[in-house]
Amino acid sequence: MAAQQGERSKVAMPNDIAYSRKLGPLTPLVGEWEGDVGVDISYHNKDDWTTETTYFEKASFKPIPLQENGQQTLWGLNYSMTAWRHGEEAMDPFHDEIGFLLWDKAHGEVMRTVVFGRGIAILAGSSAEPHDKVLTFDARPGEPCYGILQNKYLLERAEIRDFKSSFTINDDGTFSYVSDLALKLAATGTEMHHTDRNTLHRVKRYHPSAEGG
């Protein structure tokens, strides 16, 4: 029994793993996370005004099986992020998104495919190296590769002109992100930036071996 416990103690967990051959720079994200310092600056379509909201957030990143597109191979994570305004943690969240983070090692690219509950879909990406601690994801409407779609109402009221986001793995083991949606507001004829940022700490670990061995 003691020998078995010793063997288990030698199993590395995500904080101890600098690099996964399959997940590349996505490796440190594996697990469940929480963060309580979120700040959202956004345009309210109903009232035609902009406000700042602080929030609590939960995020989950789970390995998925190998994806193959002909000769292209992708490893990645199924992820979700859900946020509640401070003081409303027992109520419905004000933000919810689901998607995938993908790593194309052969071409040196990371991708973020995400659908927001408000009727927005984005495929964003950029170049990356296996050990990168900062990942960027960019997209623009109409682009053949990394583009943006939104529902008709939002397109008429707050057209998305550009999307930029970054994920940063911090030295203390936390994970930070920043996102920026550039919007053309029909009500004012001006452009504004819908931004979100938060720093999260891991509350549950999954070993990268869950990705398929």
- d(Cα 98, Cα 83) in Å, to the nearest integer? 12
- CATH classification at residue 178: 2.40.128.20
Total number of domains in the chain:
1
Residues of the chain with pLDDT under 70: 1-20, 45-48, 208-213
Residue 45 within any structural domain of the chain: yes
- pTM for the full predicted model: 0.86
Q: What are the pLDDT digits (tens) for 124-160?
A: 999 999 999 999 999 999 999 999 999 999 999 999 9
Q: Which domain holds residue 207?
A: 38-211
- d(Cα 58, Cα 74) in Å, to the nearest integer? 25
What is the enclosing helix (H) or strand (E) of 9? helix 2-9
Residue 56 within any structural domain of the chain: yes
Residue 164 within any structural domain of the chain: yes
- d(Cα 137, Cα 76) in Å, to the nearest integer? 15
